[in-house]
Amino acid sequence: PQKRIEFYINGESTGFMETKDIEFNEFPLKIGHSTLYADFQGQMRLDQFDLLHFFLSKEGEQIKKRMYKSLSIKDGLGPVNDRNRY
C-alpha cells in the first residue's frame, strides 16, 4: 500500500504528502478540537501551510517529543507501551 499522510480541513481534502515512516493513530487527529473541553473554540493563529511546515520541521519534532513525555496515560494521549516512547 502507498504510504502517505492526507490532510483535511473542515472535512475537505487539502492535500497529501508521501512519506516512508508513518505512525498510525487509532482515530483521526483533530487539530483545533477538544473532547475534554466543550468550550474550546479551536482558534489557531497559524494557517494550514505554516502548521504543516512546523509539524514536519526538526523543531516541531523536538517539541512533540517533549510534549509526549509530559503527557501521562491518564490524559489518554501518552505512550501506551515502550515501543511508542521517545
pLDDT at position 68, please? 65
Enter the pTM of the model. Answer: 0.30
Q: What string of pLDDT tens digits covers the 86 residues of the chain? A: 567 778 877 778 888 888 777 777 777 766 666 677 776 666 656 677 777 777 777 777 776 676 666 655 444 544 444 444 44
Cα separation, 21 vs 40, whole angstroms: 32
pLDDT at position 56, please? 75
CA nearest neighbour of 16 among 3, 25, 26: 3
Q: Give the total number of structural domains in the chain.
A: 1
Domain that holds residue 36: 4-84
pLDDT at position 69, please? 67
